[in-house]
């Protein structure tokens, strides 16, 4: 029965069918109006012929009005869903893909609404995929930027190492680059003391100084969980640093982010920075060793401390073997720091070269001249006893006082204090002779400077 009613009903019919019905129903109005006009005014007697009364005519008009309203209703039922669907489609077109068209009909309007809903769903799914892809792309770009930043930092570190900058400057720069690559994380380099094997902070970035003050850790305390507690960070990554094939330190990177894990790529990148630290440390070791092996002072061209100490040991051994004396002079410039402060590095180097020239003109070919450090020169005098050594020292003192004097641009004459020691009277080793001469120089300073003390 329901199926029969459904087949008879116009509800499941298409728009074309409904449009034809609406047109047919509404076209009855002008036909009936024309018929009424004909019957009333053209053929007034026809009412009597057909037996039409006023009530019959009223009924016919009522039926006509009903049919017209029915046509209007059918037309409204067709137009309203289309208007609603157009409004919903405009909302979707503005970007609100969460909107759906709620029209349940079994005609073309219903089919169109279903098609639009399917399209909207696909757009929504595509937008979600694009959003997910955008997030992945963003992460990839961040990783690329991190790699580029790391590569740039490594190139800068390489240039810094090749320029032979001081080790503490290089290590501080590396810590800054590690922190930049790891999103401003804390970076810390701890180097091992060769004697005690304890680790101490050598360079850091983004970490409070009070956390590093007096921080020394045993090798057994360099585990991540212990470092997290000692340094106060939730996440710690430690990368060993080696030099000359031996463990020499630890590169530590940490932060306080929740649910954070250092990825394998991040650890590999930290290993690259650790390798740069190894290169910097090894390079510094080579530079220091080369300086130790060098025998000449860079400024004056005289022999350096290592050579003079070795040569003094040799001369003492020879003097003991042949029972001959060996004199030693320690020449200390008076008020050197004041001169350096007043005249600067360039003039100071010129002064040191002038003193070197005076010394070279005051000794023989068998004697040896050297510069221990900034303001101290030494002379080894083989075959010279203390009296002879003191005489040479006095000549040197006078030459410096008279030869330099005010020529260096100072109102006060530049002078030196000299200590004289001799083997075997003052010692039988280089350390003993050097220590004796150093004490005598200090006595000369107390006595008023510009003098020779034996």
Give mean pLDDT, residues 362-379.
Answer: 91
What per-residue confidence (pLDDT) applies to 316? 92
More confident residue, 279 or 215: 279
What per-residue confidence (pLDDT) applies to 13? 47
Residues 177, 206 contacting (CB under 8 angstroms): no
Give mean pLDDT, residues 18-31.
Answer: 60
pLDDT at 324 over 80: yes
Among 24-38, 87-101, 300-314, name the one with the lowest average pLDDT.
24-38
More confident residue, 33 or 348: 348
What per-residue confidence (pLDDT) applies to 84? 74
Residues 6+ apart with CB under 8 A from 395: 362
Which candidate, 235, 241, 227, 229, places its Cα nearest to that of 175?
241
Could you tell me the pLDDT band of residue 209, with boundaries at 50, 70 and 90?
Answer: confident
CATH topology (fold) of 305-453: Alpha-Beta Plaits (3.30.70)
Could you tell me the pLDDT band of residue 33, with boundaries at 50, 70 and 90?
Answer: low
Among 42-56, 133-147, 235-249, 421-435, name the one with the lowest average pLDDT.
42-56
Give mean pLDDT, residues 107-121.
Answer: 73
Other Cβ atoms within 10 Å of 322 Cβ, number: 8
Give mean pLDDT, residues 284-291.
Answer: 81
What per-residue confidence (pLDDT) applies to 2? 44
What per-residue confidence (pLDDT) applies to 330? 95
Choosing among 3.40.50.300, 3.40.30.10, 3.40.430.10, 3.30.450.40, the CATH entry for 164-291 is 3.30.450.40
More confident residue, 277 or 100: 277
Residues 271, 237 contacting (CB under 8 angstroms): no
Give mean pLDDT, residues 359-366.
Answer: 90
What per-residue confidence (pLDDT) applies to 119? 79
What per-residue confidence (pLDDT) applies to 325? 93
- Cis ω on the peptide bond leading into residue 111 (within 30° of 0)? no
In whole angstroms, give the CA distance from residue 106 to residue 232.
69
Could you tell me the pLDDT band of residue 225, with boundaries at 50, 70 and 90?
Answer: confident
What per-residue confidence (pLDDT) applies to 333? 92
What per-residue confidence (pLDDT) applies to 6? 46
What per-residue confidence (pLDDT) applies to 301? 87
Kindly state the percentage of the chain with pLDDT values over 90: 22
Give mean pLDDT, residues 180-195.
Answer: 84
Q: Where are the domains of the chain?
A: 1-139, 164-291, 305-453
Ranked by mean pLDDT, which of 1-10, 32-41, 259-268 comes out on top?
Answer: 259-268
pLDDT at 421 over 70: yes
Give mean pLDDT, residues 166-191.
Answer: 86
Residues 177, 153 contacting (CB under 8 angstroms): yes
CA distances from 166 to 150, 294, 295 (A): 22, 19, 22
CA distances from 310 to 171, 261, 356, 385, 424 (A): 34, 56, 20, 20, 17
Give mean pLDDT, residues 62-72.
Answer: 68
What per-residue confidence (pLDDT) applies to 218? 84
pLDDT at 8 over 80: no
Joined together, the tokens standing for residue 361 give 């003109």
What per-residue confidence (pLDDT) applies to 32? 64
Could you tell me the pLDDT band of residue 452, with boundaries at 50, 70 and 90?
Answer: very high
User: What is the SS3 assignment for 91?
Assistant: helix
Q: Do domains 164-291 and 305-453 have the same CATH topology?
A: no
For the CA atoms of the chain, what is the radius of gyration? 52
Give mean pLDDT, residues 119-128.
Answer: 78
pLDDT at 163 over 70: yes
pLDDT in tens, 70-93: 766 767 776 777 777 777 777 777
CA distances from 77 to 67, 109, 175, 248, 268 (A): 15, 11, 75, 87, 70
Give mean pLDDT, residues 285-293.
Answer: 78
Could you tell me the pLDDT band of residue 388, with boundaries at 50, 70 and 90?
Answer: very high
Give mean pLDDT, residues 99-122.
Answer: 72
Give mean pLDDT, residues 441-445.
Answer: 93
């Amino acid at each position: 029965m329901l199926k029969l009613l459904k087949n008879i009903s116009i509800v499941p019919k298409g728009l074309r069918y409904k449009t034809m019905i609406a047109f047919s129903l509404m076209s009855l109005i002008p036909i009936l109006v024309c018929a009424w006009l004909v019957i009333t005014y053209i053929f007034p007697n026809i009412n009597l012929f057909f037996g039409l009364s006023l009530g019959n005519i009223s009924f016919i008009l009522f039926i006509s009005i009903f049919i017209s309203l029915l046509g209007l209703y059918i037309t409204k039922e067709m137009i309203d869903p289309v208007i609603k669907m157009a409004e919903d489609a405009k909302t979707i077109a503005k970007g609100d893909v969460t909107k759906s068209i709620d029209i349940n009909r079994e005609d073309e309007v219903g089919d169109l609404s279903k098609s639009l809903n399917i399209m909207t769903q696909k757009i929504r799914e595509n937008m979600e995929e694009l959003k997910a892809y955008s997030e992945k792309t963003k992460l990839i770009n961040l990783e690329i930027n991190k790699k580029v930043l790391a590569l740039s930092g490594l190139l800068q570190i390489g240039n810094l190492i090749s320029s032979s900058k001081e080790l503490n400057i290089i290590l501080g720069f590396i810590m800054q680059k590690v922190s930049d690559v790891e999103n401003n994380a804390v970076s810390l380099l701890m180097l091992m003391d060769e004697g005690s094997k304890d680790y101490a902070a050598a360079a850091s970035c983004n970490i409070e100084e009070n956390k590093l003050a007096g921080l020394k850790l045993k090798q057994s305390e360099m585990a991540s969980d212990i470092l997290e507690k000692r340094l106060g960070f939730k996440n710690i990554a430690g990368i060993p640093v080696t030099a000359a094939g031996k463990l020499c330190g630890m590169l530590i990177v940490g932060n306080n982010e929740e649910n954070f894990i250092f990825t394998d790529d991040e650890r590999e990148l930290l290993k690259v920075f650790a390798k740069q630290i190894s290169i910097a440390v090894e390079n510094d070791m080579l530079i220091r060793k080369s300086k130790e092996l060098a025998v000449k002072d860079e400024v004056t061209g005289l022999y350096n401390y290592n050579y003079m100490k070795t040569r003094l040991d040799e001369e003492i051994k020879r003097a003991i073997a042949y029972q001959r004396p060996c004199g030693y002079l320690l020449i200390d410039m008076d008020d050197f720091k004041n001169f350096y402060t007043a005249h600067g590095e360039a003039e100071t180097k010129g002064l040191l070269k002038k003193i070197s020239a005076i010394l070279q003109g005051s000794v023989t070919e068998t004697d040896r001249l050297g510069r221990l450090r900034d303001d101290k020169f030494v002379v080894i005098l083989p075959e010279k006893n203390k009296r002879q050594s003191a005489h040479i020292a006095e000549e040197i003192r006078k030459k410096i006082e008279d030869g330099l004097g005010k020529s260096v641009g100072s109102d006060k004459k530049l002078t030196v204090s000299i200590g004289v020691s001799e083997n075997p009277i003052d010692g039988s080793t280089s350390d003993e002779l050097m220590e004796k001469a150093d004490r005598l120089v200090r006595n000369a300073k107390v006595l008023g400077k510009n003098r020779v003390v034996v």
